[in-house]
């Protein structure tokens, strides 16, 4: 049985998403233990430059270039992935648990009658098996799972689960000539992209999250400024989103996004279970709240008990200084 690890590379706005580098880095670590090799699969149109950037991270880079693939659609991408998998028969294929990954991987697994584990956070190679770590019930329980038979195995991982490591592999570029088939039952009428150069909430290393304690939409400007200094993103609690102070896209929590940044700062967030379920895998959690009994202090590593409006100006200044030092 071949033990090749394939990674589906996701691109966004003309660049490779960080999560793809994370998956390639982890895949390489595993391949060294299981004496196998890592393939990056990049699908799209005119991606020579991007494919070159992948060379450092994979032993082989499969490139499928076709103008019909300039925009993601599950039908076209699926037809390509299906043919690649049938040709190479990889042992496992990793993908991101993002909007795109969640759309295509389940359908791909169903088409190929494979095995799938979605929304995982870790993987280890042990006793000749891949053991997959997946939180359940919003992180209340952790499960370790494996694939039982030798069918093609698909795993999607949350962004920010792994560290990016450039191993300068200088992998081989391989162009694949593959027919792309489109499902005529779906017609795209229009797309609307949010104008933002900001990093994706789920991929951000730094998140400053505002709760109802921020008092109103106008005060989120302070948080925006801090996020910009740190190259991160502003998040929001559901109370804030429901009050229409921020878009749903910013919502952190059970019914919003699950995030695990390196640093999460909650400002005027009470730390209700539905919220913490979406952020308690953050590496470091800081809470700013005027109520010493706020639930969020049960999850935070560090806390400041004070009025958030007194704290934010100082925080902004100090972070600015730090960024200047670097």
Partner 1 sequence: MNILVCVKQVADTEARILLTSDKKSIEIENKYNMNFFDEFAVEEAIRTKGKVKDCQISVCTYGSNKATEVLRTAIAMGADKAYLLDNNGYDIEDPIITAKILASFAKTEGFDLIFCGRQAIDDENANIGAMMAEFLNIPHVSAILKFDVVDEKKARVESEIEGGKEIQEVQLPALFTTQKGINEPRVPLITGVMKAMKAQINIIDPATLKDLSKGMIDESASKISVLTYETPSARPTVKIIDGETPEQKVKALIDILKDEAKAL
Ligand X SMILES: Cc1cc2nc3c(=O)[nH]c(=O)nc-3n(C[C@H](O)[C@H](O)[C@H](O)COP(=O)(O)OP(=O)(O)OC[C@H]3O[C@@H](n4cnc5c(N)ncnc54)[C@H](O)[C@@H]3O)c2cc1C
Binding site for ligand X (CB under 6 A): 211-213, 237-240, 251-256, 268-270, 272, 274-275, 278, 289-291, 294, 307-309
Helix (H) or strand (E) holding 108: helix 99-111
Q: Determine the Cα–Cα distance for residues 81 and 72; give it in Å rounded to an integer.
A: 13
67 vs 126, which CB is nearer to partner 1? 126
Binding-site partner at residue 237 among ligand X, partner 1, none, CB < 5 to 8 Å by type = ligand X
Helical axes 74-88 vs 99-111, angle rounded to 10°: 50
C-alpha to C-alpha distance for 297 and 292, rounded to whole angstroms: 8
Under rule CB under 8 A, residue 68 binds partner 1: no
Among 22, 59, 200, 250, binds partner 1 (CB under 8 A): 200
174 touches which of ligand X, partner 1, none (CB within 5 to 8 A by kind)?
none
Cα separation of 156 and 150, whole Å?
18
Contact, 54 vs 48, CB < 8 A? no
d(CA 137, CA 266): 22
Residue 318 tokens, joined? 């100090």
262 binds, among ligand X, partner 1, none (CB under 5 to 8 A by kind): partner 1
Sole window of 25-33, 37-45, 61-69, 278-286 interacting with partner 1 (rule: CB under 8 A): 278-286
Quick one: 56 or 297, whose CB is closer to partner 1?
Answer: 297
Give the strand pairing for 122-126 and 129-136: antiparallel
Q: How far is the CB of 37 from ligand X (least distance, A)?
A: 40
Minimum distance between the CB of residue 192 and partner 1, rounded to whole angstroms?
5
Residues 75-94 close enough to bind partner 1 by CB under 8 A: 75
According to CB under 8 A, which one of 15, 46, 70, 310 is a site residue for partner 1?
310
- Angle at Cα 213 formed by Cα 208 and Cα 218, nearest 5°? 75
- Closest CB to partner 1 among 85 and 169? 85
């Amino acid at each position: 049985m071949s033990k090749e690890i394939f990674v589906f590379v996701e691109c966004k706005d003309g660049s490779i998403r960080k999560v793809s580098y994370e998956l390639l880095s982890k895949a390489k670590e595993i391949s060294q233990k299981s004496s196998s090799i890592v393939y990056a699969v990049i699908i799209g149109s005119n991606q020579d430059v991007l494919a070159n950037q992948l060379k450092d991270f994979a032993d082989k880079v499969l490139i499928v270039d076709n103008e019909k693939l300039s925009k993601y659609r599950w039908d076209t991408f699926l037809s390509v992935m299906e043919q690649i998998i049938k040709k190479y028969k990889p042992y496992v294929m990793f993908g991101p648990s993002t909007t795109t990954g969640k759309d295509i991987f389940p359908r791909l697994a169903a088409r190929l009658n494979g095995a799938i584990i979605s929304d995982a956070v870790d993987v280890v190679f042990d006793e000749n098996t891949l053991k997959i770590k997946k939180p359940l019930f919003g992180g209340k329980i952790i499960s370790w799972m494996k694939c039982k038979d030798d069918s093609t195995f698909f795993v999607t991982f949350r962004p920010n689960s792994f560290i990016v490591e450039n191993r300068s592999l200088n992998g081989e570029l391989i162009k694949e000539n593959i027919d792309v088939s489109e499902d005529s039952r779906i017609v795209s009428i229009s797309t609307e992209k949010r104008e933002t150069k900001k990093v994706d909430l789920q991929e951000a290393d730094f998140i400053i999250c505002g709760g109802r304690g921020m008092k109103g939409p106008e005060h989120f400007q302070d948080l925006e400024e801090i996020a910009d200094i740190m190259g991160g993103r502003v998040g929001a609690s559901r109370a804030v989103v429901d009050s229409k102070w921020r878009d749903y896209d910013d919502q952190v929590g059970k019914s919003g996004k699950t995030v695990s940044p390196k640093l999460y700062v909650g400002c005027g967030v009470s730390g209700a279970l539905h919220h913490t379920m979406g952020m308690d895998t953050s590496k470091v959690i800081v809470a700013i709240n005027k109520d010493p009994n706020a639930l969020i202090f049960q999850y935070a590593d560090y806390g400041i008990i004070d009025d958030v409006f007194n704290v934010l100006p100082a925080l902004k200044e100090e972070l600015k200084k730090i960024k200047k030092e670097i």
